[in-house]
Amino acid sequence: MAGLGAFPGLPLLLLVSLLWVSGSGASVWPQPQFLSVAPLGGCLLSAGRFRFGYGGASAVGPGCSVLDQAFLRYWELLFPFGRRQAGKDHSDVPVCPNLLVSVAEPGCDGYPSLDSRENYKLTVSEAQMLLTADTVWGALRGLETFTQLPWRDEYGTFYVNKTDVVDFPRFPHRGLLLDTSRHYLPLSAILETLDAMAYNKFNVFHWHIVDDPSFPYESVAFPDLSRKGAYNPATHVYTPTDVKIVLEHARLRGIRVIPEFDTPGHTQSWGPGVPGLLTPCYAGQKLSGAYGPVNPILNTTYEVMTKFFDEVSLVFPDFYIHLGGDEVDFTCWKSNPDIQEFMQKMGFGTNFTMLESFYIQRLLDIVSSYDKGYVVWQEVFDNEVKVKPETVIHVWKENGGSYQEETARVTKAGYRALLSAPWYLNHISYGQDWVGVYQVEPLAFEGTPEQKELVIGGEACMWGEYVDVTNLTPRLWPRAGAVAERLWSNQTVRDLQDAYVRLADFRCLLLRRGIRAEPLFTGYCDHEYNIF
């Protein structure tokens, strides 16, 4: 079998059984905590008769924006051709009843949070179809599961087998990072990514919105940041209206939006819009004309950050803001005589990590004053910045030997941790690289049970050096689904052969839903040509 060497991560049994997957079989991605599907006792799903509705005991009902719109979306996904859906009725098969959704707690107008419950139960039979959940966010997850259950016969008729599901996420934070600075991503691409995230039960959109190359966020307080820092201030920016659209699109899918404004490094695009914010670099005794990180010794720097993050805290409703704090290059600071004088005055000597900590500490105090929490990259912890106990440390590199050791240190210090180090999906290789992503275990580090409870989840990252709208979707999907299942499903869900079959099937479902997900291996999907 030529080419087997390209797939070293897969067992031989799987390699010799890689057949095409049509997407017609019922399978669920990510794998629920408990799923029982009976071979008999199902019903026919009729576009002309089937509807979503509210259960009589539900604390929410018609007028609930989250579920009303979800019912419309999922009905159209089930029946893309409307009531005239192709198929053939069979008189010997009962027609499925409506799916009734019952939510225990009121609340449809708010935003999801880290503490939001996403558990649900789903019962499907010819006599009753019922989805129950504590919150609307759990109901959304259950609707996604339900719409993955139908399978199609050779006549194009859809059926649902008798099914019982009891489900909840393993981790509360299941995120995806998009970088919109290195390449601007159109609003439509972000919205499509949010749709695909919901299909995978991701619940956090980490918006790495600005960085060195460009500043596409259109600030009301500092309009020159985007006017002078964006690639194009007319076409390559996110207006306040765009941001509101993203926030609402995400909310209706149970997805939190955590913006990242990384400082003091990764800030070259800030400089043109706020003169004096960045540190002037020297070549010997003279100014070189270049600029380094944010200047941490000026009071005006903190005045700018106070005003800017006041705006950010009002625009983005989530409790958390990602403040970055990674990869600060000290070269420019070392060259600047004013910085050198300040260092001596403060007793920092030549330890520039202390200067970085000085800046970060003041920034954290500013953000805290707005009753916001913060996520920071691991360097902030590594450099021993004094942070609040509820701070989330984002592990992205292998300090001291491995990301497992870093996670152990973070949690031993009592901080909550997010894992991204093994999930940089912008890194690609020929073959089935989803396997390595799938085999990661976030809790595989030495530590107490209390430490492991501090790992609140993780994020897949799609950095934008070589990614724009032309290749974003196929590079993300279905590979990001491997991260989604690892963060949602039980720790024991690890069978690669089963995962391959379900993920290939799910990829076909994504194609049917208009998401241009790349193939896992050879074969085809029934609907793959309908979206091109």
Structural contact between residues 419 and 174, judged by C-beta atoms closer than 8 angstroms: no
Contact in structure between 492 and 41 (CB atoms under 8 Å)? no
What DSSP assignment string belongs to 371-439?
T-EEEEEHHHHHTT----TTPEEEE-S-GGG-HHHHHHHHHHTT-EEEE-TT-BTT---SS-THHHHHT
Place of tokens 């720097």: 301
Work out the widest C-alpha separation in the chain, in whole angstroms: 90
- 305: amino acid identity, one letter: M
Q: Which residues are catalytic?
A: 327
**Measured distance CA(384)–CA(489) in Å, rounded:** 34
8 A C-beta contact, residue 529 and residue 46: no
- What ranges in 264-298 are assigned the alpha helix state H? none
Rounded CA separation 298/276 (Å): 9
> Is residue 291 helix, strand or coil?
strand
Could you give the 3-state DSSP secondary structure of residue 294? Answer: strand
Whole-angstrom Cα distance, residue 469 to residue 475?
10
Query: In whole angstroms, what is the distance from residue 166 CA to residue 31 CA?
Result: 11
DSSP 400: G
Q: Does residue 165 contact residue 121 with C-beta atoms inside 8 Å? A: yes
What would the DSSP string read from start to end of 480-492? HHHHHHHHHS-TT
Start-to-end CA span in the chain (Å)? 31
Structure tokens at 200: 């995978």
Quick check: 183 and 464 in contact, CB under 8 A?
yes
Residue 5 in 3-state DSSP?
A: helix
Q: Residues near 123 by Cβ (< 8 Å), separated by ≥ 6?
A: 129, 130, 131, 163, 164, 165
Contact present, 359 and 325 (Cβ < 8 Å): no
Q: Return the residue matching tokens 């004013």.
A: 338
Query: Which tokens is 225 given?
Result: 């940041």
Q: How open is the CA angle 10-169-204, to the nearest 5 degrees? A: 90
